[in-house]
Amino acid sequence: MTAARRIGLLGGTFDPIHVGHMAAAAAARTTLQLDEVLLLTSHVPPHRPQPAASVHHRFAMVALAAQDDETLRASDLELVTPGPSYTSATLERLHRHGYSPSQLFFIAGADAFAEIATWRHYPHFLDAAHFVIVDRPGRSAASIRGLLPAFAPRMREASSTSDEWSGDMMTPSIFLVNVPTPDVSSTAIRARCAQRQQITGLVPPAVERHIDRHALYRVRDAAASHAEGARRSASLLHEQEHL
């Protein structure tokens, strides 16, 4: 009998996607032996300000970041759904697509997961998938134990050297992945772009070229760039294959 595929889910505004996102995806994929990781660009982020770049540019940058890695896939699942991009709603849609909770591994940085009690439909969506918590600068995955003591029994230290992950895991767990990720943020990258500073090494090379080509995040050119992206967004979303 063929083992069920393990699908990682890394959602975000991706404004822009950067090497921290890529490192988190790689850490989760390697540690838990995931078959692929879907990069889910959010439509309307419920916990953050409105994105600076258009839907078109944000999704394009995610697609460019994933293009050379067969284990990554840009997904427009949240972009084609109106309204805020809630984790609970995304997991429900994936269930309707035929995925079981035991197949889904929702990846989050420890800094974001520390605020999980503010997420919509908490804590019920924790039963809709496994959750994979990755270290972020200033917040380790292990620190989550103290923040959510009620869920400590389902938390498991995850190591890429363990053979434990080769078996079936039917009960949703919270995996703590203690792997360092780069100290970089989309906010800092946008600030550097606005000041015409280099962002080499902070984003994948193809993403850097896209930002430069379209003058993204530059204060003087922001309005024109956003207008261009808005014109192209509708056609792009219709062209992409839905998950």
Domain coordinates in residue numbering, the chain: 7-239
> Of residues 16 and 233, which shows the higher confidence score?
16
Amino acid identity of residue 188, one-letter, is A
As a whole number, mean pLDDT of residues 118-130 equals: 94
Global pTM value:
0.85
Q: pLDDT tens for residues 148-183?
A: 888 889 999 986 545 455 444 678 999 999 999 999
- Give the Cα-Cα-Cα angle 123, 172, 177 (nearest 5 degrees): 95
Q: What percent of the chain has pLDDT over 70?
A: 84
Are 115 and 82 a contacting pair, CB within 8 Å? no
Burial 60-84 (b: 16+ CB within 10 A, else e): bbbbbbbeeeeebbbbbbbbebeee
As a whole number, mean pLDDT of residues 94-105 equals: 95
pLDDT of residue 91: 97
How is domain 7-239 classified at the CATH fold level? Rossmann fold (3.40.50)
pLDDT of 83 higher than 90: no
Residue 107 tokens read as: 């990846």
Nearest partner of 233 among 46, 80, 84, judged by Cα: 80
